[in-house]
Structure 1
Amino acid sequence: MILKFLVFSFAGLRKPDFQRETNEWTPEKVKDLVASFLDGDLIPAIILWKFGDSFTFVIDGGHRISALAAWVNNDYGDKAISLKYYESIPEHQLK
Protein backbone atom coordinates (compact mmCIF):
# COMPACT_ATOMS: atom_id res chain seq x y z
CA MET A 1 0.00 0.00 0.00
CA ILE A 2 2.70 2.50 0.92
CA LEU A 3 4.58 1.74 -2.30
CA LYS A 4 1.56 2.76 -4.37
CA PHE A 5 1.27 5.91 -2.28
CA LEU A 6 4.95 6.77 -2.78
CA VAL A 7 4.83 6.17 -6.51
CA PHE A 8 1.59 8.02 -7.21
CA SER A 9 1.46 10.71 -4.52
CA PHE A 10 5.07 11.67 -3.84
CA ALA A 11 4.97 14.69 -6.16
CA GLY A 12 2.06 16.18 -4.20
CA LEU A 13 3.81 15.99 -0.83
CA ARG A 14 5.29 19.08 0.81
CA LYS A 15 7.29 19.58 3.98
CA PRO A 16 6.14 22.47 6.20
CA ASP A 17 8.73 25.09 7.13
CA PHE A 18 8.75 23.96 10.76
CA GLN A 19 9.97 20.46 9.85
CA ARG A 20 13.71 19.77 10.02
CA GLU A 21 15.52 18.81 6.84
CA THR A 22 15.32 15.18 5.82
CA ASN A 23 19.04 14.66 5.35
CA GLU A 24 20.06 13.65 8.87
CA TRP A 25 19.75 9.88 8.54
CA THR A 26 22.85 7.82 7.89
CA PRO A 27 22.88 5.30 5.03
CA GLU A 28 22.74 2.58 7.71
CA LYS A 29 19.53 4.03 9.16
CA VAL A 30 17.94 4.17 5.67
CA LYS A 31 19.00 0.57 5.02
CA ASP A 32 17.52 -0.54 8.35
CA LEU A 33 14.18 1.15 7.61
CA VAL A 34 13.93 -0.40 4.14
CA ALA A 35 14.86 -3.82 5.57
CA SER A 36 12.20 -3.44 8.29
CA PHE A 37 9.65 -2.47 5.65
CA LEU A 38 10.52 -5.48 3.49
CA ASP A 39 10.39 -7.78 6.52
CA GLY A 40 6.88 -6.55 7.34
CA ASP A 41 7.97 -5.04 10.64
CA LEU A 42 5.98 -2.29 12.27
CA ILE A 43 6.81 1.13 10.84
CA PRO A 44 5.59 4.08 12.96
CA ALA A 45 2.66 6.02 11.55
CA ILE A 46 3.16 8.91 9.17
CA ILE A 47 0.98 11.94 9.81
CA LEU A 48 -0.19 13.89 6.77
CA TRP A 49 -2.40 16.97 6.43
CA LYS A 50 -4.30 17.61 3.20
CA PHE A 51 -4.65 21.33 2.48
CA GLY A 52 -7.84 21.85 0.45
CA ASP A 53 -7.44 20.67 -3.12
CA SER A 54 -3.72 21.37 -3.22
CA PHE A 55 -0.77 19.77 -1.48
CA THR A 56 -0.50 17.21 1.26
CA PHE A 57 1.87 18.27 4.04
CA VAL A 58 4.02 15.79 5.97
CA ILE A 59 3.51 16.65 9.64
CA ASP A 60 5.46 13.66 10.99
CA GLY A 61 7.42 10.99 9.16
CA GLY A 62 9.39 13.01 6.63
CA HIS A 63 12.55 10.96 7.11
CA ARG A 64 10.64 7.69 6.73
CA ILE A 65 8.89 8.88 3.57
CA SER A 66 12.14 10.24 2.12
CA ALA A 67 14.02 7.01 2.82
CA LEU A 68 11.32 4.79 1.28
CA ALA A 69 10.86 7.13 -1.69
CA ALA A 70 14.63 7.12 -2.30
CA TRP A 71 14.57 3.32 -2.31
CA VAL A 72 11.49 3.09 -4.58
CA ASN A 73 12.94 5.62 -7.04
CA ASN A 74 16.60 4.51 -6.67
CA ASP A 75 17.46 8.17 -6.11
CA TYR A 76 19.33 8.96 -2.93
CA GLY A 77 20.01 12.55 -3.95
CA ASP A 78 22.16 11.82 -6.98
CA LYS A 79 19.85 10.75 -9.81
CA ALA A 80 17.25 12.23 -12.19
CA ILE A 81 14.61 13.28 -9.63
CA SER A 82 17.13 15.07 -7.43
CA LEU A 83 19.01 16.59 -10.34
CA LYS A 84 15.80 18.33 -11.48
CA TYR A 85 16.12 20.52 -8.38
CA TYR A 86 19.88 21.04 -8.26
CA GLU A 87 22.27 22.01 -11.03
CA SER A 88 25.05 19.96 -9.50
CA ILE A 89 25.61 17.96 -6.37
CA PRO A 90 28.78 18.61 -4.35
CA GLU A 91 31.23 15.73 -4.16
CA HIS A 92 30.94 15.45 -0.35
CA GLN A 93 27.19 14.88 -0.68
CA LEU A 94 27.63 12.25 -3.37
CA LYS A 95 29.76 10.23 -0.94
Structure 2
Amino acid sequence: MQEILTSLLNVVGLAWWVEVKTETPRCTYYFGPFPKANLAEISKAGYVADLEQEGAQGIAVSVKRCKPAKLTVSDDLGEKLSQGVPTALTRPVV
Protein backbone atom coordinates (compact mmCIF):
# COMPACT_ATOMS: atom_id res chain seq x y z
CA MET A 1 0.00 0.00 0.00
CA GLN A 2 2.87 2.38 0.81
CA GLU A 3 4.36 1.84 -2.67
CA ILE A 4 1.07 2.93 -4.26
CA LEU A 5 0.96 6.05 -2.09
CA THR A 6 4.60 6.86 -2.89
CA SER A 7 3.98 6.40 -6.62
CA LEU A 8 0.92 8.64 -6.49
CA LEU A 9 2.81 11.33 -4.56
CA ASN A 10 5.64 11.13 -7.07
CA VAL A 11 3.30 11.48 -10.06
CA VAL A 12 1.87 14.72 -8.68
CA GLY A 13 5.27 16.02 -7.52
CA LEU A 14 4.63 15.71 -3.78
CA ALA A 15 7.05 12.88 -3.00
CA TRP A 16 10.20 13.59 -1.02
CA TRP A 17 13.65 13.15 -2.54
CA VAL A 18 17.20 13.31 -1.25
CA GLU A 19 19.17 15.70 -3.45
CA VAL A 20 22.95 15.31 -3.24
CA LYS A 21 25.21 17.80 -5.03
CA THR A 22 28.91 17.15 -5.39
CA GLU A 23 31.67 19.50 -6.50
CA THR A 24 33.91 16.68 -7.78
CA PRO A 25 32.53 15.27 -9.97
CA ARG A 26 30.18 18.20 -10.54
CA CYS A 27 26.89 16.29 -10.34
CA THR A 28 23.48 16.32 -8.75
CA TYR A 29 22.00 12.99 -7.66
CA TYR A 30 18.41 12.29 -6.66
CA PHE A 31 17.49 9.38 -4.41
CA GLY A 32 13.88 8.46 -3.75
CA PRO A 33 10.99 8.83 -3.89
CA PHE A 34 9.88 8.77 -0.25
CA PRO A 35 6.33 9.29 1.05
CA LYS A 36 7.53 11.28 4.10
CA ALA A 37 10.41 13.69 4.71
CA ASN A 38 11.60 11.83 7.81
CA LEU A 39 12.13 8.63 5.79
CA ALA A 40 14.29 10.56 3.32
CA GLU A 41 16.22 12.15 6.23
CA ILE A 42 16.96 8.71 7.68
CA SER A 43 18.28 7.46 4.32
CA LYS A 44 20.48 10.38 3.33
CA ALA A 45 23.53 9.36 5.39
CA GLY A 46 23.81 6.10 3.45
CA TYR A 47 23.77 7.87 0.10
CA VAL A 48 26.45 10.31 1.24
CA ALA A 49 28.60 7.45 2.55
CA ASP A 50 28.35 5.64 -0.80
CA LEU A 51 29.39 8.76 -2.73
CA GLU A 52 32.28 9.44 -0.34
CA GLN A 53 33.45 5.87 -0.82
CA GLU A 54 33.40 6.49 -4.59
CA GLY A 55 35.65 9.52 -4.06
CA ALA A 56 33.12 12.33 -4.46
CA GLN A 57 34.10 15.62 -2.80
CA GLY A 58 32.30 18.79 -1.77
CA ILE A 59 29.04 17.05 -0.88
CA ALA A 60 25.89 19.04 -0.02
CA VAL A 61 22.66 17.24 0.88
CA SER A 62 19.04 18.39 1.08
CA VAL A 63 15.65 16.73 1.39
CA LYS A 64 12.97 18.32 -0.76
CA ARG A 65 9.71 17.77 -2.54
CA CYS A 66 10.35 17.62 -6.24
CA LYS A 67 9.91 15.50 -9.34
CA PRO A 68 13.35 15.07 -10.91
CA ALA A 69 13.43 14.42 -14.65
CA LYS A 70 16.78 12.62 -14.27
CA LEU A 71 18.23 10.82 -11.27
CA THR A 72 21.78 11.94 -12.11
CA VAL A 73 22.54 15.33 -13.61
CA SER A 74 26.19 15.74 -14.55
CA ASP A 75 27.79 19.05 -15.43
CA ASP A 76 31.23 17.72 -16.26
CA LEU A 77 31.20 13.91 -16.23
CA GLY A 78 30.72 13.49 -19.98
CA GLU A 79 33.51 15.93 -20.76
CA LYS A 80 35.97 14.14 -18.48
CA LEU A 81 35.02 10.72 -19.81
CA SER A 82 35.50 11.86 -23.40
CA GLN A 83 38.97 13.11 -22.50
CA GLY A 84 39.89 9.80 -20.87
CA VAL A 85 40.22 11.37 -17.41
CA PRO A 86 38.98 8.98 -14.72
CA THR A 87 36.30 10.26 -12.36
CA ALA A 88 34.93 9.02 -9.06
CA LEU A 89 32.17 7.21 -10.96
CA THR A 90 34.40 5.29 -13.38
CA ARG A 91 36.05 2.04 -12.47
CA PRO A 92 39.09 0.49 -14.12
CA VAL A 93 38.40 -2.53 -16.28
CA VAL A 94 40.13 -5.59 -14.83
Q: TM-score range by the shorter chain?
A: under 0.3
Greater strand share, structure number: 2
Question: Structure with the greater relative contact order (CA < 8 A, sep ≥ 6): 1 or 2?
Answer: 2
Q: TM-score, normalised by structure 2?
A: 0.25
Q: Whose radius of gyration is greater, 1 or 2?
A: 2
TM-score computed with the length of structure 1 as normaliser: 0.25
Q: Which has the higher helix share?
A: 1
